Structure 1
Amino acid sequence: MKGCLTGLRVLDLSRVLAGPWAGQIFADLGAEVIKVERPGVGDDTRSWGPPFLTDGAGCPTSEAAYFLSCNRGKKSVTIDITNPAGQELVKKLAAKSDFLLENFKVGGLAKYGLAYENLRHLNRGLIYCSITGFGQDGPYKDRAGYDFMIQAMGGLMSITGLPDGVLGGGPVKVGVAITDLFTGMYATVAMLAALEHRRHTGEGQSIDLSLLDVQVATLANQALNYLTSGEVPGRLGNAHPNVAPYEALPTSDGHIVLAVGNDGQFNRFCAAAGRPGLSADPRFATNPARVQNRGILSPQLASLISAQSTDHWLEVLEAAGVPCGPINTLDRVFDDPQVKHREMCMNVAHSTGGKLRLVASPMKFSATPASETLAPPVLGQHTEEVLSELVELPKDIIETLKWRGII
């Protein structure tokens, strides 16, 4: 079946994670995504391992798991954009594309004649999305930006981790490159919004996305906690600044996450735990009171929860309608019956001959399901196909470009 975006084409000049994540979402939705990579080298993340995929004989390949995580469903075309002949190829591809996605430094593509101002004259409907660390303007625009440093600069690490003065206290980054991932999501939304604008006007436009802007935007309630009160939030470990109890608590054999979102849930928790008097205590009867008195409440809950096993609490609290869950390792995540039922892991054949397990798209459509997933491409896998069919280059010209190292 065709996906929602079947018939649209994305020229993806991005690498690493934020841009490729956006491109992968477009591929999931049925768009043709052409990933342009450096001949002989490719996307940086192709070498970000181990682990690496194994081939049909069980031998390691050069395909890093990192690269495989964000490039499913794409076509790989190798072009040397530093060469004028390569630049002409990119221009011809851009002329036949709906979107161009790039994450070069500010001005990085302009020196090759591939900036938006160059390409808009070849394709007035082109939607050109640029992702940088700090945006196309401002005092930091020429700086390189990576997720880790942006988590720090954008305030996320100031609210992630245990408080100072506690064993293990200090700032901690999120376990995945969350700012890159959010930027990829924002890029996708922005590009589709620009597509709707084009539908009305016939005109494309440029989109300027900054990792720092996205990190500030996704501070969400913590940003408003500060802007509303003037008080700088600190690190609370697994506790929530606005809701209590909403934290990880030790059981007799592990931990459980207790996520009480309202007073009714707290009442049910106290009853199920055999401590109905807790919810009647004025210090804990309402959420604002529990937040204010979390220092008194949390030790009592920790003592109560630690007396029983994780499985005991999951069974008891689920029956009582109290949100809770275990802290799963990834093997348990992919073995979870709900994750299996939702088919969040899929098996696909890879061109190296190996079998590849991929994470599926989480988007579930009733009429236009996510496209049949193709394995992430090996470097240059589709160069000849794209250049012959889309750019209409004769075979002898393709061979000459290959001999000259341009593709």
Structure 2
Amino acid sequence: MTSRLTLGILGGGQLAQMLALAALPLGVRVVVLEPDPQAPARLCAEHLQAPYTDPAGLARLAQCDAVTLEFENVPVEALAALEGRVPVRPGGGLLARSRHRAREKEALRAAGAQTAPFVPIEHEADLVGALEAVGGRGLLKTSELGYDGKGQARVNSREELRAAWDALGRVPCVLEGLVAFEREVSLAVARSAGGEVAFGPLVENTHRQGILRTSVFPAAAPEGTEARARELAHAVAQAWALEGLLTLEFFQLPSGELLVNEVAPRVHNSGHLTQDGGGLSQFEAQVRAVLGLPLTNWTPLHPTAMVNVVGTAGGQEPDWAAVDALPGTRLHLYHKAPRPGRKLGHVNLVAPEVETLRARLERLEGLVP
């Protein structure tokens, strides 16, 4: 019975909060290991306030039926301490792959997916000829720890490349060639330890200053795009022996071809709209996959969109009353202190048809700074 199951989570931020909220109706108790005393997940889960490598905290997680994560940059010592004591899903091998951009791209290509051209930059000698190899313009990204536009720089010349690598601390990086894409889309896949597989929807995304701004379902992509995205996601899930949930972000080229941009071994910001579109959410899908509960696809039943609420330099807040008055909106706040560039919440929007959704989304964007 699910009422006897306990799920451990490494990390206690908003994703852990929403995973816990999805687990509770299933009768699943949640324990999070998170050093931040103000962790959002503390409001709906047992909060172990300790470092990720704390022996007592890890011993408590080891008592759970399975452990998952809300972010991939978990200390390797924590994963090593849990190995053999409790199933960790996704596992350490997959995490080592997805947390390092060069290894991730190499593994994606080995699984049959295509990526933008890239060159690993680990030593000064690697800078020679790198920009020419990716087409003359590119993005230099740290191999690890970068997210939401952090740890990266656009470069258009050899001089800019060298200066950017210096500015990033001369740490291992990946130089990615710029591609002329038509739209950005994402799709998630869940796979249980028994090999059962299910998919999320194809979602269209827009970004602002490196942070996701909006996600929309259905995506305005050519016919066959979703089927191809599922095919690629399934191939990666199988090749990487996924246990849990994996989100793939794609560039869709004018030709219709899909290039994998990034991979996240967890629920993803672009999937938040599944909370309110009807049917399963991505959060319940990850809980089910990790605990071996029956899986099903989690495509929304209605046209659905999401707008991120992000802290601004001037401290502006959305027009909450107007947001609340707009038909089809539902607010999700993370109980986090405001800070410029910090994700503070999101607003989901549901409408009976696509035209109405897009008209209301335009209005909603005008209400959220």
**Normalised by the size of structure 1, how large is the TM-score?**
0.31
Give the structure with the larger strand fraction: 2
Structure of higher RCO (CA pairs closer than 8 Å, 6+ residues apart): 1
If you compute each CA radius of gyration, which structure gives the higher value, 1 or 2?
1
**Normalised by the size of structure 2, how large is the TM-score?**
0.33
Give the structure with the larger helix fraction: 1
